[in-house]
Structure 1
Amino acid sequence: MTPVHDVATGETRPVSTGFIAIYVLAQFGIWIALLTPVILTIALRVGEIATEAEKGKWLGVILATGAFVALVSAPVCGALSDRTRSRFGRRRPWLLGGLVVSGIGLLVLATAPSLLLLGLGWIICQAGFNAMQSACLPILPDVIPFRLQGRVAGLLGMTSTAATFAGSWITQFTQTSTLLMFLAPFGITVIGVLALVLILPDRIPANENSARTSLSAIPRALIKPFLDHDFSWAFISRFLIMMAWSFLLTYQLFFLTDQLSLEKLEATQVMVRSMAIIAVATISISILGGFISDWSGRRKPFVALAAVIEAAGFLLVALAPSVPQFLVGVALAGLGKGLYFAVDLALLAAILPNEEERAKDMGVFQIANSLPQSLAPALAPAIIFWGSASGDNYAAIFIAGTIFALLGAVAIAPIRRSR
């Protein structure tokens, strides 16, 4: 059991292995209920309601609308969490409130008779899940001591990948019931979040200035983190890395069919292997990287090294003449991703500008995750046509990913408040 000094009260509080396990379970629970609809169950519901000709368009509209809600709600809910002053603390109300709202959204998704209501359900879900996320992420700097933040960040970093596969695995047993498709993964969310709420040491900061700040000041507060030198560079690095990954996740199927000339069925099978390789690589290196980072007390070298490894993986993919080299490149990129997301979150926790606004600042940081998912598809057509009049140069997509990843490594260098 590790003692942690509470800045707000001057007390020393213990952080046990059990608390860390429940914290990681809660984050896993949030991801599994959020990502399973994104990768699978919303598409199944759209396919039930929309015509064959329109289902692709409507799926894009619904997911894009949800992504916009996530972009806005994460920093706003974070700012409100920082300003919450209640007998239950400032994180618990948002964890519980988000749990209720997201549950309502999932019920709407499961029972919606029309595409409009399906879209509304996804908007409600995104608001609820991002409320929970905005209260869950700042627990890392709020509660976890610096010497453990690397390994805990490593565990948190693997939860989204693990949740993606767990959600897909559960769905194969629940497709006969629309309610179970959406609510079975959510059961894990309920267990994890309620357990976290029960044991969370949710202290109010001694300085009450943020509590008296008017809500009208929130828009200005959302811009404020970018005035901080270190935060801005960390944001730029994450944004560039996520641009690279958005290219890989969106265009690997077309690379396999158009660049490597595989049939769609064969390409789909290769993609399944690719995602499995990414999962294994990411999860294995996340835990190891977090421990090594804590042991050395350094963050920046590991983040930069991870970005370089990712770049090397993207380059191997771009130059791949065959499936084996494609999979080797994907594996290398997955190792870099696991190391990056493990240590980068710990680095962020160390350089947040204001300890009283951690939830808001971490919510703003999440924009660097969400925005590239919209920008990458917008930039892709111009990149694809680069050097190819036929418009099928999908290797250029991964060369662009290589460049973005290398720039992400360079962007870590100017950070001052972390080694």
Structure 2
Amino acid sequence: MKAWQPADETARPHVSITFIAIYVLAQFGIWIALLTPVVMTIALRVGEIATEAEKGRWLGIILAIGGFVALVVTPICGALSDRTRSRFGRRRPWLLGGMLVSGTGLAILGAAPNLLILGIGWIICQAGFNAMQAASLPILPDIIPVRLQGRVAGLLGMTSTAGTFAGSWITQYTQSSNLLMFLAPFAITVLSIGTLCLILPDRPAGRDDKPMKPGDMLRAIMAPFRDWDFSWAFGSRFLIMMAWSFLLTYQLFFLTDQLSLAKSDATQVMVKSMAIIATATIAISLIGGFITDWTGRRKPLVFLAAVMEGAGFLTIALAPSVPQFLVGVAIAGIGKGLYFAVDLALLAAILPSEKDRAKDMGVFQIANSLPQSLAPAIAPIILVIGSTSGKNYAAIYFIGAIFALLGAFAIRPIRRSR
């Protein structure tokens, strides 16, 4: 099956630098409110509610359930977005609706009196944020000219790391209020998504894009996996995200239990860690985006990036102190910046269907969401390797390094991109 390529670039709407900047800012706005709970604030709330012995298990359970919701919601919302005939367009209603739902979930997280309500709040958050993602990511192949997709993908690739860092930095000043801790980053989401919706050249689905019947949904979700290149790209992203799910989810507990830092000191180290990842990711994402547009090559850069991520995770696993931990974070951050810059451009080039871009990109997002469930689910098994206390967090990063290296080799069989 051949990937769709635009026959006439001039048929696309004019894309200004301002539009690209607002689009990138909107993606940043989604990530800052979604990843701050994943990286820090849910762990802090679980630590307040659960016992010391059970906090790791409950954190894994809550994040795993939320990750499962994400992997179900994203392709379904993507498929529905592709066929939305609203006079407001097909992407805009899902951006705004997802924003309202996710804001509700964040408010519940901040006010939750127990773990059950905390889990319900996170489920609602995942549903809302992933509806926004399902409508936001297809804007890249929908509107951005092919000649600019590498550079824009590079900018988009750095937004998750920038959002994680910004959210961690904000959390330093909001920990005194549980509600503010979750809603302060969300203010950026509201501003950025609202601005994007005002300027987005969105169109409703055409008459040929018939509404999807419930019985057709599963077949539609499985359809892109019949494409060889899509399947390998999916596998590579899945493996890489497994590795990063370990890093992001258990970073706080690695610092407190493995390196014996106090919670306040660990929080400060996490801010430094996020700053290093953000700096490395932003710098290399910009460079990687230009290089891939200039050379027209994607696969060698993606392979190199995944290998660097594996080296970074291995360095963290062997870290006896904070300085080596931060060195490992820097190496992994450089790899992450290059990987996410180029891999998104690669995906835009190999999408199997023009009509089903949001659905296919939503299916691809399963590779981001599923590890959020699987990594915490298998982490308790890994934590007992060589440890009677069940707190061998170094083993988590050894396994992460293996996943990253497998992700590097999974990109090689792709045929439709060099």
Q: Are residues 1:151 and 2:151 paired?
A: yes
TM superposition shift of 1:59: 4.3
Aligned residues of 1:7 and 1:205 also touching (Cα < 8 A): no
| Alignment-derived partner of residue 276 in structure 1 | 275
Q: 2:261 aligns with which of 255, 261, 264?
A: 264
Q: Are residues 1:79 and 2:79 paired?
A: yes
173-182 vs 195-204, which moves further? 173-182
1:189-268, aligned counterparts within 5 Å? 189-204=189-204, 208-250=207-249, 262-265=259-262, 268=266
| Alignment-derived partner of residue 20 in structure 2 | 20
Quick one: distance in 2 between partners of 1:84 and 1:8? 25
Task: Choose 1 or 2 for highest CA Rg.
Answer: 1
Quick one: distance in 1 between partners of 2:287 and 2:102? 33
Aligned residues of 1:205 and 1:356 also touching (Cα < 8 A): no
Quick one: distance in 1 between partners of 2:151 and 2:121? 36
| Alignment-derived partner of residue 293 in structure 2 | 294
> SS at 1:174's partner residue?
coil
TM superposition shift of 1:298: 1.6
1:131-142, aligned counterparts within 5 Å? 131-142=131-142
AA matched with 2:82: D
TM superposition shift of 1:19: 0.2
The unaligned stretches of length 5 or more in structure 1 are: none
1:125-179 per-position Cα deviation (integer Å, ceiling 9, x unaligned): 2211111111001101111111111111111111111112222322333344444
> SS at 1:187's partner residue?
helix
> SS at 1:359's partner residue?
helix
> SS at 1:356's partner residue?
coil
> SS at 2:13's partner residue?
strand
1:332-369 per-position Cα deviation (integer Å, ceiling 9, x unaligned): 12111110011101111111111111111111111111
TM superposition shift of 1:276: 3.0
Go from structure 1 to structure 2 and tell me whether the alpha carbon gap of 1:322 and 1:179 turns closer, same or farther (over 3 Å shift). Answer: closer
Quick one: distance in 1 between partners of 2:279 and 2:394? 25
Aligned residues of 1:105 and 1:123 also touching (Cα < 8 A): yes
| Alignment-derived partner of residue 338 in structure 2 | 339
Quick one: distance in 1 between partners of 2:140 and 2:305? 21
Aligned residues of 1:105 and 1:125 also touching (Cα < 8 A): yes
Aligned residues of 1:303 and 1:412 also touching (Cα < 8 A): yes
343-352 vs 289-298, which moves further? 289-298
AA matched with 1:374: S
> SS at 1:203's partner residue?
coil
AA matched with 1:184: A
AA matched with 1:264: L
TM superposition shift of 1:103: 2.3
Aligned residues of 2:169 and 2:271 also touching (Cα < 8 A): no
TM superposition shift of 1:284: 1.5
Quick one: distance in 2 between partners of 1:49 and 1:380? 21
> SS at 1:164's partner residue?
helix
TM superposition shift of 1:26: 0.8
TM superposition shift of 1:409: 1.5
Aligned residues of 1:8 and 1:205 also touching (Cα < 8 A): no
1:51-62, aligned counterparts within 5 Å? 58-62=58-62
**How many residue pairs were aligned?**
411
| Alignment-derived partner of residue 125 in structure 2 | 125
13-22 vs 303-312, which moves further? 303-312
TM superposition shift of 1:203: 2.9
AA matched with 2:142: D
AA matched with 1:362: M
Aligned residues of 1:85 and 1:211 also touching (Cα < 8 A): no
Kindly report the root-mean-square deviation, in angstroms, between the aligned alpha carbons of the 2 structures. Answer: 3.1
Q: TM-score, normalised by structure 2?
A: 0.86
Percent of pairs with identical residues: 74
Go from structure 1 to structure 2 and tell me whether the alpha carbon gap of 1:389 and 1:39 turns closer, same or farther (over 3 Å shift). Answer: closer
35-44 vs 128-137, which moves further? 35-44
269-278 vs 194-203, which moves further? 269-278
Quick one: distance in 1 between partners of 2:394 and 2:123? 35
> SS at 2:150's partner residue?
helix
> SS at 1:79's partner residue?
helix
Aligned residues of 1:8 and 1:203 also touching (Cα < 8 A): no
| Alignment-derived partner of residue 164 in structure 2 | 164
Aligned residues of 2:63 and 2:372 also touching (Cα < 8 A): no
1:42-63 per-position Cα deviation (integer Å, ceiling 9, x unaligned): 4455566667776665544433
Aligned residues of 2:74 and 2:131 also touching (Cα < 8 A): yes
AA matched with 2:22: I
1:62-96 per-position Cα deviation (integer Å, ceiling 9, x unaligned): 33322221121111111111121221111011111
Q: TM-score, normalised by structure 1?
A: 0.86
Go from structure 1 to structure 2 and tell me whether the alpha carbon gap of 1:331 and 1:169 turns closer, same or farther (over 3 Å shift). Answer: closer
1:211-245 per-position Cα deviation (integer Å, ceiling 9, x unaligned): 24423201111111111111000001111112222
TM superposition shift of 1:370: 2.0
Quick one: distance in 1 between partners of 2:238 and 2:129? 21
Quick one: distance in 1 between partners of 2:253 and 2:101? 37
Go from structure 1 to structure 2 and tell me whether the alpha carbon gap of 1:373 and 1:12 turns closer, same or farther (over 3 Å shift). Answer: closer
Aligned residues of 1:310 and 1:336 also touching (Cα < 8 A): yes
Q: Are residues 1:365 and 2:364 paired?
A: yes
1:297-316, aligned counterparts within 5 Å? 297-316=296-315
Go from structure 1 to structure 2 and tell me whether the alpha carbon gap of 1:254 and 1:336 turns closer, same or farther (over 3 Å shift). Answer: same
| Alignment-derived partner of residue 349 in structure 1 | 348
The unaligned stretches of length 5 or more in structure 2 are: none
Q: Whose RCO is larger (CA < 8 A, sep 6+)?
A: 2
Aligned residues of 2:105 and 2:124 also touching (Cα < 8 A): yes
Aligned residues of 2:101 and 2:125 also touching (Cα < 8 A): yes
Go from structure 1 to structure 2 and tell me whether the alpha carbon gap of 1:99 and 1:392 turns closer, same or farther (over 3 Å shift). Answer: closer
TM superposition shift of 1:184: 2.5
Aligned residues of 1:6 and 1:13 also touching (Cα < 8 A): no
